[in-house]
């Protein structure tokens, strides 16, 4: 059974810092990996999706990497801003039989201090 772990559970940094959020998964036979952002009381916003054949994806100040063989992904946020404060969730879809279904980590609650 696929399990997804995100460390740390919470992170607080001053504005302007570059930071890395970590995600690990137990079964390397994934179809893709998706990073989401969730603001309090809101839905999930898709940030980046990495296909299993890809190594990284970039969107603005965000860069996500994927090392499928070691079961790891990182989300790099450059020049953090207070507006980046949110919970960040990592999720993977399983192998062929589990394609499409997302398995989520517990999330990292990020606070950017002005």
Partner 1 sequence: DAEITQSPRHKITETGRQVTLACHQTWNHNNMFWYRQDLGHGLRLIHYSYGVQDTNKGEVSDGYSVSRSNTEDLPLTLESAASSQTSVYFCASSGQGAGANNEQFFGPGTRLTVL
Contact residues for partner 1, defined by CB under 8 A: 31-32, 34, 36, 42-46, 49, 51, 89, 91, 93, 99-107
Count the Cβ atoms, other than its own, within 10 Å of residue 32: 17
The residue among 25 and 36 lying less far from partner 1, judged by its C-beta, is 36
Q: Supply the minimum distance, in Å, between the C-beta of residue 38 and partner 1.
A: 9
Asked if 60 and 72 count as a contact pair (C-beta separation under 8 A), the reply is: no
State which residue, 66 or 89, has the beta carbon closest to partner 1.
89
Cβ contact 109:10 at 8 Å: yes
- Label the pairing between strands 62-67 and 56-59: antiparallel
In whole angstroms, the minimum distance from the beta carbon of 67 to partner 1 comes to: 20
For the bound state, the minimum distance from the C-beta of residue 16 to partner 1, rounded and expressed in Å, comes to 30
Q: How many C-beta atoms surround the C-beta of residue 45 within 10 A?
A: 12
């Amino acid at each position: 059974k696929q399990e997804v772990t995100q460390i740390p559970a919470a992170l607080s940094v001053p504005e302007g810092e570059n930071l890395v959020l970590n995600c690990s998964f137990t079964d390397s036979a994934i179809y893709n990996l998706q990073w989401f952002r969730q603001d309090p009381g809101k839905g999930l916003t898709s940030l980046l999706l990495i296909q299993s054949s890809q190594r990284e994806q970039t969107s603005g100040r965000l860069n996500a990497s994927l090392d499928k063989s070691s079961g790891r992904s990182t989300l790099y946020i450059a020049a953090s801003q207070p507006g980046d404060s949110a919970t960040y969730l990592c999720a993977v879809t399983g192998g062929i039989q589990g394609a499409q279904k997302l398995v989520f980590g517990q999330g990292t609650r990020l606070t950017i201090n002005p």
